Amino acid sequence: MTKLAIDGGQPVKATMLPYARQAIDEDDRLAVEDVLRSDWLTTGPKIKEFEAAVANYTGANEAAALSTGTAALHAAIWAAGVGPGDEVIVPAISFVASANCVLYVGAKPVFADLSPDTLNIDPADVLRKITSRTKAIVVVDFAGHPCDHDVLRRIADQHGLTIIEDAAHSLGASYKGRKVGTLQDVTTLSFHPVKHVTTGEGGMVLTDDVNIAKRVRSFRHHGIDLDLHARNKTNSWEYDVVDLGYNYRLPDINCALGISQLAKSERWLLRRREIVDAYNSALQSLAMLHLPVQRDDCLSAWHLYIVRLNLETVKVSRSEIFAALRAENIGVNVHYIPIPWMTYYANLGYKRGQWPVAELEYERMISLPIYPSMSDKDIADVVTAINKVWTNYQK
Ligand SMILES: *Cc1c(COP(=O)(O)O)cnc(C)c1O
């Protein structure tokens, strides 16, 4: 039995393998440099070009670029008309931005539990959480796996609710042959460096609803009336502020990077699926692990590869396994601590123990490294490290 690095042995890798990482090539650098040499660093032609490229890739009719994925969620919720007194149903596990955006507009997040197989929001629990105040549902395609979109759609239609799909993890995924970006009323993307395509920071709102798209475009630009702006060619200084908006614009510099990145995203998705296949076949017989699943009617975008530990098969806790893998220089992570457990949310009155699936599964989740530029050797190192931990810690 090889001695674990955490016990003073040799680590599997000499340097830390991150759980996610951007891939920046020469064409990305040149695309950004072109903008730096141009007249427009922001509010220029690259914005429309990037929006058109994402709309074309996803099949959405309207796309509006924003400064971050969080800004996109804020704009989407606001544009959908959610405000003070409204309730919005949100999954108990996601990145905190999925719920924060509800608070930004003065509404109340109501957390729903997860389906045990995909860890996506459980439609049955959504149904239980609907009240007369419910206005919308934020659904997150967790780890890249699409939610049960048709079932959620049916529930939303029956109760007159808007669905905001937080697709920060699922650009390029599909559900029943339909692509993410065409599945719900409004879809938001993130272009943070750990996501599928990066612009440094950045986000986008996708929709087929021209009115929502118009509201988002005004919201990202101080709430300025863009119709007046377009109409008034003569008195070109004139503008009017009709809503309280923000400066949530995405600069042309970032859009140029996004255009160049998006051209590679299909190839990167294939690489992610190769990594998943490699992990699945190398790890499937390990009693310590419950591997992530993909439902038959879905193609996941595999933003994350989340394993769940069968803790009854080992002598140690999740945190000891986590620390042992980190010591081997495998950059494992945990996505995510339940949002209602956060201090800010606890102070708002949310009490633990109301989401049995989310809270139980959270205790046994670990994310393994996955990103397109990972080498086959990197994959093999992750597998070696996991086997090493298993042989040392199995009961
Ligand atoms: C990354 C992420 C966001 C926020 O995106 P930013 O671009 O970092 O603001 C929102 N929701 C989920 C699920 C995310 O993973």
Residue 336 Cα to ligand 1 middle (Å):
12
Cβ(165) to ligand 1 under 6 A?
A: no
Q: What is the pLDDT of residues 280-325, one digit of tens each?
A: 999 999 999 999 999 999 999 999 999 999 999 999 999 999 999 9
Q: Is 70 in the pocket of ligand 1 (CB under 6 A)?
A: yes
Q: Is the CB of 169 under 6 A from ligand 1?
A: yes
Q: Confirm or reject: Cβ of 69 under 6 Å from ligand 1.
A: yes
98 pocket-lining for ligand 1 (C-beta < 6 Å): yes
pLDDT range class, residue 175, cuts 50, 70, 90:
very high
pLDDT digits (tens, 9 = 90+) for 124-158: 999 999 999 999 999 999 999 999 999 999 999 99
pLDDT, one tens digit per residue, over 185-201 is 999 999 999 999 999 99
- Ligand 1, atom 10, residue with closest C-alpha: 97
pLDDT of residue 233: 67
pLDDT at position 160 is 98
pLDDT score at 349: 98
Q: How far, in Å, is the centroid of ligand 1 from the Cα of 167?
A: 9
CATH number at 26-262: 3.40.640.10
- Would you name the residues annotated as active-site residues? 195
- Same fold flag, 5-15+265-393 and 26-262: no
Residue 321 is predicted with a pLDDT of 98
Between the CA of 211 and the centroid of ligand 1 the distance, in Å, is 24
Over the stretch 105-132, which tens digit does the pLDDT of each residue have? 999 999 999 999 999 999 999 999 999 9
Specify the ligand 1 atom closest to the Cα of 142: 13
Q: How far apart are CA 28 and CA 264, in angstroms?
A: 10
Task: For the chain, give the mean pLDDT.
Answer: 97
Task: Give residue-wise pLDDT tens across range 207-264.
Answer: 999 999 999 999 999 999 887 767 766 667 788 999 999 999 999 999 999 999 999 9
- Convert the pLDDT of each residue in 43-102 to its tens digit: 999 999 999 999 999 999 999 999 999 999 999 999 999 999 999 999 999 999 999 999
Q: Are 380 and 330 in contact (CB under 8 A)?
A: no
At 238 the pLDDT is 82
pLDDT tens string 324-370: 999 999 999 999 999 999 999 999 999 999 999 999 999 999 999 99
CATH of domain 5-15+265-393: 3.90.1150.10
**Burial profile 353-381: b = 16 or more Cβ within 10 angstroms, e = fewer:** eebebbbebbebbbbbbbbbebeeebbeb
CB distance 288 to ligand 1 below 6 Å:
no
CA of 219 to the centre of ligand 1 (A): 19
CA neighbor of 187 nearest in space, from 214, 208, 218: 208
Q: Name the CA dihedral angle for 171, 182, 259, 170, rounded to a multiple of 10 degrees.
A: -10
Show me where the domains of the chain are located. 5-15+265-393, 26-262
In degrees and rounded to multiples of 5, residue 355 shows phi and psi of -130, 80
Residue 56, token pair as written in the block: 């074309």
Predicted TM-score (pTM) of the model is 0.97
pLDDT at 296: 97
Task: Please tell me the predicted confidence (pLDDT) of residue 237.
Answer: 77
